[in-house]
Structures are given as structure tokens and as C-alpha cells.
Structure 1
Amino acid sequence: MTDVIDLGEFGDDFRRNPHPVYARLRERGPVHRVRLPVPDAHHVTWLVVGHEEARAALADPRPAKDSERIGVTFLDEQLIGKHLLTADPPRHTRLRALVSRAFTVRRVEELRPRIQRITDHLLDAMLPHGRADLVESLAHPLPLTVICELLGVPEVDRTAFRKLSGEAVAPTSSETEYDAFVRLGTYLTELIEDKRCAGPSGDLLDDLIRTTAQDGDRLSPAELRGMAFILLIAGHETTVNLITNAVHALLTHPDQLAALRADMTLLDGTVEEALRYEGPVENATYRFAAEPLEIAGTSVAQGEAVMIGLTAADRDPGRCPAPDDFDIRRDSRGHLAFGHGIHYCLGAPLARLEARTAIRTLLDRTPALALDGPPGDWLPGPLMRGMRSLPVRW
């Protein structure tokens, strides 16, 4: 019987810096049976930690994203509905086709002026104080405002939505997680119904309500709720961490910050290296063995869960020399921070644009930007990789 490695035994050090643990696991092999440190529960799963093996597993059609294929349903499916991360082809193909046109490079580029205006507005409010929590002042409100405007979430609802979404992706307990999903499901149902009754508004959620494919296909009420959920949650929570982690990496590597300030053509490479070095998603959401299968020579029994370690894979020295070095001149293309295969992040172009805009504008307007104390706690749970606060001064 395969030994189970309890990641919870590494304590708070693992949450703050999991990279040494993942490095030791990679040295022993690319796939391991682990117990995840999850609040009020301990889930056992296979964890893929090698880059080549993770990339292959992300593109492998055999592990299922739909947990119902092994007789299990999770809170998001029970209380909200199926979405892109809980569906397999042909359903996934259909759902993605109905929404993907909203996230083309051209459509995202049209958002550039609005993203710049939001960034400028947030910095106008932040800079007179001389110091701030970057998460609270910029990294969180920028992507939240963008995705809420894109989908048509009323401004008055955004503060409450932020709290619920944070608890959904990084729960502090099973009780608060359950409550967050219940309230999100209720809120999204009411929002969709309000939009349906109000008539065309031109936002993305309104488009999804009224979208009809050439064959007459439309999203069901549960699918609409699930789609709104995943676009709102994934559309801002990950970008919050991308901006925060990128700025933290620059401020803790002054040589790299100086290089970027001296040559802003390095900005695109900086964002890609930040995605590789400390990506916003630690592990991809669960996959399941709907039938017995093999991953990188490891037998996975029917019904067992598989988690693909994006953070672990992107620091694999077999793929990336000196992986623990933050080097903005490195060619970081091929990282797995946005996934790979049919579940590759739909919002990747938007996240990149928001991060580039936020970092460039912040550095332009704060020549003396520096850390103002240690960062806050790293987010709990195995999914997100980010910190709750980042004190800075200028």
C-alpha cells in the first residue's frame, strides 16, 4: 500500500513557503499520495509535482473534472451549478463555446482604457497617504471592479460579494465555506432574474442570459448561475494574487526591481516570471479517476482524486534551471500557472493586462516604493497562493 504524506504535518511553514517540501517530493518522484491540510477536514489525493508529468496530466482526457462520474458532488455544484471547472466534454466544449467570445484578445484589448482609468483612480486615492496595504488599495479592487463591471454586478453589492468569494476559494472553516456558497447561490439567482426582467443591458451576464447558439442551444438556469459564479470568482481572485505576488517578488529582489525600472520593456517578462515563480493558483482543482488509469507510471484506482501541483511543477529544475531564483529576464513561457489543455484559463489575457497595467502604473507613480513590514498570512487551503495583505510605503 502506498504511503500517504500528510502535508499538514509541515505546519504553518508549509503554508508560508511550500517550495522546499515540493522540491523534496520531486526528488522522490513526480507523483505522490498526500493528505491535504484543509480546514476541518483532511482530504487524501494523488499530487503531481513534476513539470512534464503535470503538463501531460492537464492535457489527459481520462481524469474527469465532473465528480458525479464517481458518485460525488461538491458544494459549488450542489448549491450553485455546473461550470467550466466541473464539466467534461461534450458539456465543457458547449459551455466554453458559449462564453469564450467574451474573452478574445481583441475584446480584452478594448478594456485597456477602462482598466487604466480604474488603476489611476485607485492610486489617486492611495498615494496621498504615503503607505497602504497594497491588497486592499489596489490588487483586490482593480480586478474586482473590472469583472463586476464586465458582468454587470451592481456597485452596491461588491463589498459583500468580495467577502463571500474570498471564503469560497480560501475557506477558514467548513461552516463558513458552506454559508458562503449558499449565499452566493442565492445572490446569483436573484441577480440573473433581475437582469432577465430588466431587459437588455449589454453586459456579459446579460449576453449569456440571451445568448443562443446556431443550433438554438442556451444556458439553463443552473448553468447560468454556475457560469456567473466561475467568471466572477476566477475572474478576480486569481488576479489579486498575481498582482500581489508579483509586487512582493519585485520588492524582495531589489536587483530585479531596478532592472525593470530601468527598462520597462521587461514588463511582460516580469509578469510571466511572477506567474512561474509564485503563481496565483497553487494546485489545479480536482480531477477524478472515472476508471483505473496510470499517471507517470503510478496506478490510480477508480474513484481516487488527482490534484496537479501548478506551483510545484513550475519550480521543477528539470524544466527551469535555478527555479528558486526570480529572474525577470528568464524565458518563462511554458509555465503552467494558467493550466494547460482544454481547461486552460479563459481569462488569462485579461489577467495579464490587469497585472501589467497595475505594476507599470504603480512603479511609475511610486519611485521609492518599498515594503512597510512583513506581509499578512498566506491564504489557507490547497487552491490559492497569495497573501492577505502586503504593507508598502513610498
Structure 2
Amino acid sequence: MGTERGPRALSGVTGGRVVIDLGEYGARFAEDPHPVYAELRALGPVHRVRLPPPDAAHETWLVVGYEEARAALADHRLAKNPDTAGFVFYGEGLIGRHMLFADPPQHTRLRTLIAGEFTGRRVAALRPRIQEITDELLDAMLPRGHADLVESFAYPLPLTVICELLGVPEPDRAAFRALSTETVAPTSAESEHKAFVQLADYLGELIEDKRCAGPTGDLLSGLIRTTAEDGDRLSPGELRGMAFLLLVAGHETTVNLISGAVRALLSHPGQLAAVRADMTLLDGVVEETLRHDGPVENATFRYAAEPLDIGGTAIAPGEEVMIGLSAADRDAVRYPEPDRFDLRRETRGHLAFGHGIHYCLGAPLARLEAQVALRSLLERCPDLALDGPPSGWLPGMLMRGVRRMPVRW
């Protein structure tokens, strides 16, 4: 990539490699990173970047092309276990090993054990309860005539669902929400570490309480007691890690999927009218939201276990690679007119839930919650509209969403 064609945030050369400082784009990168990703894609599918705050000064390879991202997500040479490259992730040491930081055969073992409890049948059986929670939230929200959609609806729905599924007591959920948000969209390194410490302590106590209480029918109780055919079981650290992954990934992503879909529809009146006239289009709304501005902006780090080439870029052993899910899903090579939100678009193959062995286990639950939430909201709020600009874009490059979204009806 030549400096004469580089983006404004080109920061020069480090160790003989051009590095793009994403932090120099400022707040506009957090609010809308897609123009920056488009600039990068025009120059090539892979770039060396310096991350924005709160991860400033951290350098990594960033994959922004669709074909390159899809291939990288399934490439066994890109390991998820930080130990492969000599990295230490303190969150894992506190919480415990889970699937996002594991490779085969450990990943295969963990996924097999949890898949036996987190089944499609269990997810499908949640629909009546998801509808009930949705109706209760709307009953409380609608008489007011206006609300913060995130605070009143998009956040409490998936939080309640996943906490009930795992058996988290109701009094603990407000504190859990604050801690989980800090782990996926940290405001500082210090607050992130503190959140991991507190979550680790809480989950350890919750697991021990459930172990002593005996079977209760919730998912976490089932995971404590699940045993493979060969007698294998999850260790205490693995249980804590799995509980963390399910609780955090099970609601943070869905919050942003629901609010992102509403934000997209309210910004596209013609498409909103089409959905109101034909609710069978809701599946298209969910899938196009996932593609167009999905809740997970970038996959968690991978580490080169051996030398490899991604899109013509040589990656050395031990180097970190970040795969841009949002960037890849706006690649015009795969999706014509990628910046246009089109609920009738053919979205097959989008990478919002990943690809390969790390494809999101909770994708069916996220889709189900979004479909129920959107249908109920649109049916009961015929005059739904934005009541000001969405604000509080989540920091960092993992999650994509807002903390506040004022609406009226």
C-alpha cells in the first residue's frame, strides 16, 4: 500500500511495515467505521493497523475483504488459543477456558459437551416465554409515549431470557449487566480487569450454589451435571468460562441486533412500510441487519500458528489477526451496493455469526429473540419513530451498537 494513496490516518512505517492508526479517525470511527473499512478494502484485503482507544498502541493485522475473511475464519493455522503465540489473556485466567479461546481437540470437546444441553429443541421451546417477556416489557413501556428503546426494551429482553435460561437470580441481573458490558466494550483497561475479577467471583459462587442445590432444570445446572459417553465432564474452570461465554454472548449481541434492526427500519421509511404491510419480511430484516451493521464488528483475535498468506499478505508465526466481520459483509465483491440496506437482499453467506468451527452456537436464539421482539414492537407501535439521534456508541472494535436510542410513538 503506497503512502500516496493511503487513508488520512496513515501513521507511517513500523518495522518496515505501513501501519494505519485507526485512533486518528476519532469519534467518527466509532459512530460509523464503514467508510474507513471501504477505504481500506479499496487498497487491499489485509492491513496492519493500530487500534483506537481503549486499545490504543495495540497493533494487529486486520482482514477487511469478504473472501479473505471467510477463508481466515475457517483456517486451522489461525489459532484461537493465545498460548499458541505466547500471549496471556488475563480474562481467561480469571474466568476460565471457553470455546472462544480453544482449538481442536479441546474446542471440539467443549462444544460437544455444551451442545448436548444447549439444543435446538431447548431454544425453540423458549418462544412462548420470549413472547411473554416481550409483552411485559411493552406493557410497561407503551403508556409513556416515549422511551430509550435500549434501556426499556432491547436490553432487558435478551438479558432476562439468558439469565432465566442459565438460572441467574433476578436480584443479581442489574449488577451482571453492568459487568458484562464492561468486559465486551471496556471503557478502560482498569475497569475491564475489575469487571472480569467480579464476574469470575460471582460465577464461581453461582456454580457452587447450583451444585449444592441439585438439578433445577436450567442450562447451567445441566452443564454442571452433563457427562459424555466416556465420562468426561466440564471442570470448575471450564464451567465458569462457559457460563461467562453464554451469559455475555447470549445477550450483548442480541441487544445490538434488536436495536440495530429498529434503527435501520426507522432510517428507511419505505422498507419499514413494506414490513408493516407484510410481516413475513421480518426474517429479511434480521438477516440484512446482521449483514449491513451486525452486532459483532470484529471477531476476537486469532494467532498465526505457522507462516501463512492472507490476501497476498505474509503473516508471521505468533502474529495476531483480527477478522473484520462488518468490513467483510460490506464488500461489494460479495454484496452489490453493500452500503444500501435492503431487506429483500440475498444475504446468504454473511459472516455476522462467524464461519467454520467457531460459528456462533447461540445464533438460533438471537434470531428467535429478534424476530419476536421486532414483530411485537411494530404491531403495537404503529407510529414508532426516532425521538432524537442514537448515541453512546460502544467503545472498542468488538461490539457494534449504541447505549441510548430515544423513540416515541
- Aligned partners of 2:49 and 2:60 also within 8 Å: yes
Distance 1:78 1:41, change over 3 A: farther
One-letter amino acid matched to 1:62: R
Q: Residues 41 and 7 (structure 1 numbering): CA distance in 2 closer, same or farther, change over 3 Å?
A: closer
1:172 equivalent in alignment to 2:187: yes
Among 267, 272, 278, the alignment partner of 2:287 is 272
Give yes or no for contact 1:64–1:289 (8 Å, CA) kept in 2: yes
Q: Which residue of 1 aligns with 2:128?
A: 113
> Which deviations, in whole Å up to 9, do the C-alpha atoms of 1:345-377 show, x marking residues without a partner?
000000000000000000000000000001112
Q: Tell me which residue corresponds to 2:315.
A: 300
CA deviation after TM superposition for structure 1 residue 45, in Å: 0.5
- Report the CA distance between 1:334 and its aligned residue: 1.0
Q: Secondary structure at the match of 1:103?
A: coil
- 1:325 corresponding residue in structure 2: 340
Work out the CA distance in 1 between the residues paired with 2:335 and 2:212. Answer: 53
Contact 2:118 2:219 in 1 (8 A): no
Q: 2:60 aligns with which of 41, 45, 48?
A: 45
CA shift in 2, pair 1:198/1:103, >3 Å: closer
Residues in 1 aligned to 2:113 and 2:155: alpha-carbon distance in whole angstroms: 28
Question: Residues 60 and 209 from structure 1, CA distance in 2 versus in 1: closer, same or farther, beyond 3 angstroms?
Answer: same
Contact 1:103 1:350 in 2 (8 A): no
Q: Which residue pairs with 2:171 in the alignment?
A: 156
Q: Out of 144, 150, 164, which is 1:135 matched to?
A: 150
One-letter identity of the residue aligned with 2:332:
P
Contact 1:65 1:87 in 2 (8 A): yes
Q: Structure 1 residue 2 and structure 2 residue 4: aligned?
A: no
Structure 2 spans left out of the alignment, 5+ residues: 1-15
Q: 1:136 & 1:376 partners in 2: Cα distance?
A: 12
The answer to whether structure 1 residue 35 and structure 2 residue 50 are counterparts is yes
Which of 60, 72, 90 pairs up with 1:57?
A: 72
Corresponding residue for 1:17?
A: 32
Amino acid at match of 1:119: T
- The residue correspondences of 1:1-394 to structure 2 (distance < 5 A) are 1-39=16-54, 41-394=56-409
| Cα gap change, 1:329 to 1:46, in 2 (>3 Å) | same
State the alpha-carbon separation in 2 of the partners of residues 129 and 342 from structure 1. Answer: 45
Q: Residues 50 and 60 of structure 2 are in contact (CA less than 8 Å); yes or no, is this contact kept in structure 1? A: yes
For residues 153-172 of structure 1, give each alpha carbon's deviation from its aligned partner in whole angstroms, at most 9, with x where no partner exists.
00010000000000000000
1:284-332 alpha-carbon deviations (Å, 9 max, x no partner): 0000012222212211111110000000000000000011111111111
Distance 2:218 2:256 in 1: 25
Letter aligned with residue 256 of structure 2: N
Say which SS state the counterpart of residue 58 (structure 2) adopts.
Answer: strand
Give the whole-Å Cα distance in 1 for the aligned partners of 2:43 and 2:363. 32
- SS of 1:388's equivalent in the other structure is strand
How far 1:104 sits from its partner (Å)? 3.1
- What percentage of aligned pairs have identical amino acids? 73
- 1:40 Cα shift? 5.8
Structure 1 contact 103–349 (Cα < 8 Å) conserved: no
Q: Name the count of aligned residue pairs.
A: 394
Contact preservation (8 Å) 1:273, 1:332 = yes
Aligned partner of residue 276 in structure 1, secondary structure: helix
Partner amino acid for 2:346? D
Contact in 1 for aligned 2:186/2:192 (Cα 8 Å): yes
Structure 2 counterpart SS, 1:196:
helix
Hey, what does 2:9 align to over in structure 1? none
- CA RMSD of the aligned region, Å? 0.8
2:49 is matched by which residue type in structure 1?
Answer: V
Contact kept in structure 1, 2:91 and 2:193, CA below 8 Å: no
Deviations 1:209-240 (A, max 9, x none): 01110000000111000000000000000000
- In 1, Cα distance between the equivalents of 2:120 and 2:205? 31
User: Partners of 2:56 and 2:237 in 1: how far apart?
Assistant: 28
Cα contact 1:166–1:237 (8 A) shared by 2: yes
Aligned 8 A contact 2:392 2:402 in 1: yes
Distance 2:165 2:142 in 1: 27
Mean Cα deviation higher: 253-262 or 71-80: 71-80
Distance in 1 (alpha carbons) for counterparts of 2:54 and 2:29: 14
State the shift of 1:139 in Å: 0.5
Deviation at 1:195, TM superposition (A): 0.6
CA positional deviation for 1:38? 3.1
